[in-house]
Structure 1
Amino acid sequence: MSGPEGSIRGMLALNLKRARAQRGLSISELSRRSKIGKATLSQLESGTGNPTIETVFSLSRVLEVPISDLLDAQQPAGLRVVRAKDVEMLSGQGIDLRPLQRIESGQAVFEVYDQQVRAGERRDSPGHVGIEHTVVQAGRLEVTVDGQEVELEAGDYVGFDATLPHSYAAVEGVVRSVLLLQYRSDQRLDPNAPHSLPGEGTPCGD
């Protein structure tokens, strides 16, 4: 992706307004539910904000849409190769994500991410829409889901209801893993929905 419109920032700006309008939420109400400041939301909708993993996952949770509907991941067409150096990194507390692909099959939607948990760090999530699958490629990863803790090594897999509070912690070195998020197709954002609410003329309208 290149240019501001094809960047994570640009795609989020376009899709956040659409998702908010589809849910019938003002910026004030979205701010209240997501605990993200109104000024920050206005910056995100104008394309001037700096989204983090926490921000995007919080918006996904409140708006009840897949992450890729906010980031507008491209669809496959024949052979598709995604080079790590060509994909913009989404960073946050203790973790870095590269969105690689969205796969739609029947009534299911899958998002594939290259996930890295930084050495000695932890990421906590209050939960978000979907089912989460993780396969560890390198390092040792501690996963806690709703108070239940497991430790994974290279080759191990864990899956859980992502609406539950969960956390990832790198026990040994940087942890490399493949993250797969699974959604129902009826949770998809309607691409034909308007970008603004009736009577709302600016991104920061209440």
Structure 2
Amino acid sequence: MSVSEGSVRGMLAANLRRARTRRGLSLSELSRRSKIGKATLSQLESGTGNPTIETVFSLSRVLEVPISDLLDTRPAGELTVVRAAETEVLSGEGVDLRPLQRIESGDAVIEVFDQRVRAGRRQESLGHVGTEHTIVQAGRLGVRVKDDEVELGPGDYVRFDASRPHSYTALDGEVRSVLLLQYRAEQRLHLSDPGIGGSHPAEE
């Protein structure tokens, strides 16, 4: 099966293996830590799997890398346009995410996503690397971070430590929002480092 390197599946296939290798983890150990089946991980690394938000965020948490280190990035130019119809959607139990851009400035790395929470649905996360910022554009969004819960409307903003368990719930129809994930530059796994494409930990 041929997989485009520019697709979400293609980018994840290439980056996941390199990230796993850099951490010195076998497929079995990554499966144990992420609670993702070994067969599923093998499919993701071969580009034949269908990644979900839950899967990608779990891998981000276990491998301790930003989402964009798994999904790659688009080169920045003087004018960068990302068309909605040309961007693949990463879906989960309650949320559809479209990766738009990664911004690097000094020690800060910010990933920009178009986020839609489906009507009446809830998206749970055990936590992952970085700080999460969400700006609601339309609808009413319930945000729970560990034991704290808030309700947001259009124009409202929330920020929290993304390593804490959290969830988003659409309270009244679909919620449209902008999601920003912020990291420190040193949290990034530089996948172009020498040796990463070399020998791999045992597949077992």
**TM-score, shorter chain, exceeding 0.5:** yes
Query: Aligned equivalents of 1:12 and 1:127: distance in 2?
Result: 19
Could you say if the C-alpha distance between residues 87 and 199 of structure 1 is closer, same or farther in structure 2, counting changes exceeding 3 Å?
Answer: closer
> How far has the Cα of 1:4 moved from its partner?
1.6
SS state at 2:18 partner: helix
The one-letter code of the counterpart of 1:190 is: H
Correspondences of 1:156-171 after superposition (within 5 Å): 156-171=156-171
Confirm or deny: 8 A CA contact 2:21 2:201 kept in the other structure: no
Could you say if the C-alpha distance between residues 196 and 17 of structure 1 is closer, same or farther in structure 2, counting changes exceeding 3 Å?
Answer: farther
TM-score, normalised via structure 1 length = 0.94
For structure 1, the residue ranges without an aligned partner over 5 or more in a row are: none
1:106 maps to: 106
2:120 maps to: 120
SS state at 2:138 partner: strand
1:87 maps to: 87
Could you say if the C-alpha distance between residues 145 and 199 of structure 1 is closer, same or farther in structure 2, counting changes exceeding 3 Å?
Answer: closer
Query: Aligned equivalents of 2:150 and 2:199: distance in 1?
Result: 44
**Superposed structure 1 runs of 4+ greater than 4 Å apart:** 196-200
The one-letter code of the counterpart of 2:197 is: H
TM-score, normalised via structure 2 length = 0.95
1:178 maps to: 178
1:39 maps to: 39
SS state at 2:101 partner: strand
Query: Aligned equivalents of 1:62 and 1:191: distance in 2?
Result: 16
Confirm or deny: 8 A CA contact 1:141 1:153 kept in the other structure: yes
RMSD of Structure 2 on Structure 1 (CA)? 1.1
1:97 maps to: 97
Report Cα offsets for 1:68-88 as digits up to 9, x if no partner. 110002131111111111100
Could you say if the C-alpha distance between residues 199 and 123 of structure 1 is closer, same or farther in structure 2, counting changes exceeding 3 Å?
Answer: closer
Aligned residues: 200
